[in-house]
Structures are given as C-alpha cells and as structure tokens.
Amino acid sequence: MQQDKLMKRTAIYCLVFVLTAMSAILYYSASKIIVVADVAQDEVAQNTDSTIEAPVGIAVLEDKNHINIDRGNQNTNYFCIPMPEDVRVEEVTIENHYMDRELWVNIEPKDMDGRETFYEENGVYGNCTDVLTGHFDVEKDKICLRFELTDVYEYHSIFEDNTLYVEFMTPKESYDKIIVIDPAYGLNDMGVSVNGVNAKDITLEIAKALKAKLDETDIKVYYTRMDDSNPSMDSRVELAADTKADMLIRIEVGSAESSKQYGTEAIYNSRFFIPGFGSVELADILEREVVTAISGKANGLLEAAGEDVVINNATVPAATIKVGYLTNGQEYILLQREDYIQRIAEGIYQAVIKAYEEQGK
C-alpha cells in the first residue's frame, strides 16, 4: 500500500516536471529565437552594372531615409533594431557585406501596409559604438536597412519582443583560422583577354570552385569579390589586415608576348618579412600543390613587381598564384575547361591545408 502511494506520488512529480519543462521550452521558443537566416557577402547575389566601377570598401549611402541612432543608452552589449509590429523571425534576413563594411537587415513582411514609414518614426539604440550611420530603403515587398560599420565584423543575433539584437565581434573572436582569397581583376579590368575569353572570369570561376571545397572546413574565408565587381587594390589589402587573416592568396592569369610561354608561377611579398611561415613559404606551397594538381610546369617563385599593390602592401603572408598563360594556345583551351578549373582549385585548397599544418594549426 505504502509502495503504491509512493509510486503515485513519483508519477505526479514527474508529470508536473514534464509539464513545467515543456511550458518553459514553449515560452522560450515563442519569445526568444536565435536568427539563423544570415548570409555573408560572398553568398549574396549581386546585381552589378558593368558600366559603373564604384569604389568597393567605401560605403555609398544616400542622405535620404536616414535612420535615427540613439547613442545615449548603451547599457547593453547589443545593437538594438526595433521591428515593425507582427514581423516574424522567418521574415528577417541579415547580410554581412564585409567588403563594404556594412550590415544589411532585410525585412519581408507578408503585409507591407503601414510599415513603409516605420523607420521614419523609429530609430535604433543600444550599443552603437561599431555603427557609423543607418539608412533604409523601401521596395514593393521589402524593407532594407543598411548600417555602415567602423570595421569588418561578425555577429550574433537574437530576435525577441519584436526587436533584433545584434552583438558585434571581430573575426578573430569568432574564428581560429581566417584566410582571404582575392580573384584578380573585375568589371572593366578584364585582365588578359584572348578571343573573348577574359582572365577576370577565369579567376572568378576558380574562386567559386575553391569556395565549394573550403566551405566544408573550419576555415573562415573572406573573398574580395564573388561577382563581376572590381574592389580597389587598397580595399583588397585592407580586408586581410582588418580580419587579421592568416594568409592572403591572390589568383591571376598570365600573358606573354610569346605564345610559347606557359606554366605556373607564384609571386610573393619580399618587402614584409614574417618570421617562421611567411610569404615565400606560402608561395612555395601554392606553386607545388597547384602544379601537382594540374600535372603542369613549374616556373618558380618570383618577387612581386613594384606596382603589385596587393602583394607588396600586405602585412600578412601573401602570395599570388598565376595559374597559366591565356596567350598560350594549349593553356587557352585548358583554362576554359571545368575539370581543369576544379584541379586548380584543388591545388590551392591543398596548399591552404598544408600551410596551416606548417603553422601548427
């Protein structure tokens, strides 16, 4: 009898515990949701007008539709963005436009009625130290908020009580391994062009193939471009410095007066000495791994020319891999083949992995 009472009492306690736990979970889910709909700039579809070459890395924001920033109340670690009434978390997307030093917040409510003027009347607040300015644009079914930041940041975000809370962090606070990949050229800078085949397109295809491989690792990769844009040379260098990257790898295509010139070479920064693993070591690994992957000819390592701004001005291990000569008949054909592009990307990928092994990471 006593045992039956004890079992009943235990069952009641268990039931109460389960109901309490479920209530807490439901409350938490309803009121506090981590925003997972976020993308980096290299995953954002860009609409680039090839007739305009805007300076990437410098925020170009219009004075109209200014968002008021209340800098008086910073008793929180979060940058606080109020949302229009009844906006749900799945209707909010965050984009990290790191080359522009901008954070975009896209809001796509099912009903835009009355929400077009929300940010004319409501500003942002909280920890605004890393935010310079804010603007908003209203489209047919979307509100886009654009915040110009002081630097390159990563972030954590929480959606709670119709407010988006953003906590900014430096890349090194978020990632242990960081590299910058720089596909050369872009927009009106075609690089070498032969019979309508442009070096700018080849370097971009290699970067895209490389991204598919590096996305499967624990390495954070920043790309200076993943579309037909042309960031300034200085902004490409600054990306590596601002993210405190472990290395910068530039991808180029060669050209020569003689059609007999072919092969692969790596170019390194001889001006900035880094003890241990530096630019010459990175260049050596790049050339060896790419030549092995494509079963090609190694032309050796070269010091960067004086006008090579990206490599010479880099303050991290930096090297260019010149993947072949478009002016050579055979490499002209090879550099248009998808399987060859994949092999080049595999070579660069293996070089990155081995570079980290040499660094002991």
Beta-strand ranges (E) seen in 62-205 are 79-82, 92-97, 102-107, 125-126, 131-138, 143-149, 154-160, 163-169, 178-183, 193-194, 197-198
* Residue 37: predicted pLDDT: 60
* Residue 4: predicted pLDDT: 56
Same domain membership, residue 319 and residue 178 = yes
The answer to the question of residue 100 being in a domain is yes
Query: Which residues of the chain carry a pLDDT beneath 50?
Result: 6, 16-32, 36, 47-62
CB 306 within 8 A of CB 312: yes
The answer to the question of residue 19 being in a domain is no
Same domain membership, residue 255 and residue 146 = no
CA 285 to chain CA mean position, Å: 24
* Residue 289: predicted pLDDT: 98
Same domain membership, residue 236 and residue 159 = no
The Cα–Cα gap between 51 and 347 comes to 34
pTM to 2 decimals? 0.85
CB 94 within 8 A of CB 157: yes
SS3 label, residue 171: helix
The answer to the question of residue 139 being in a domain is yes
Same domain membership, residue 294 and residue 210 = yes
Same domain membership, residue 328 and residue 179 = yes
Number of domains in the chain: 2
Beta-strand ranges (E) seen in the chain are 32-34, 38-40, 79-82, 92-97, 102-107, 125-126, 131-138, 143-149, 154-160, 163-169, 178-183, 193-194, 197-198, 220-223, 247-254, 264-268, 298-303, 318-325
Chain position carrying tokens 């896209």: 106
The answer to the question of residue 179 being in a domain is yes
Locate 262 and state its tokens: 């072919």
Residue where one domain finishes, among candidates 104, 137, 169:
169
Locate 33 and state its tokens: 């949701």
Same domain membership, residue 338 and residue 224 = yes
The answer to the question of residue 25 being in a domain is no
CATH of the domain at 91: 2.60.40
Query: Which residue range(s) make up the domain with 153?
Result: 34-169
Same domain membership, residue 194 and residue 110 = no
Same domain membership, residue 203 and residue 266 = yes
Residue where one domain finishes, among candidates 169, 202, 225:
169
Same domain membership, residue 209 and residue 81 = no
If you write DSSP's letter for every residue of 248-260 in order, what string do you get?
A: EEEEEEE--SSTT
pLDDT tens digits, one per residue of 124-146: 999 999 999 999 999 888 999 99
The answer to the question of residue 18 being in a domain is no
The answer to the question of residue 68 being in a domain is yes
Same domain membership, residue 342 and residue 295 = yes
* Residue 32: predicted pLDDT: 47
The answer to the question of residue 26 being in a domain is no
CATH of the domain at 230: 3.40.630.40
Helix 338-359 and helix 199-214, axial crossing angle in degrees, nearest 10: 50
* Residue 86: predicted pLDDT: 87
Locate 120 and state its tokens: 């004319």
* Residue 34: predicted pLDDT: 56
Same domain membership, residue 200 and residue 142 = no
Same domain membership, residue 163 and residue 262 = no
As a whole number, the mean pLDDT across the chain is: 87
Residue where one domain finishes, among candidates 123, 153, 169:
169
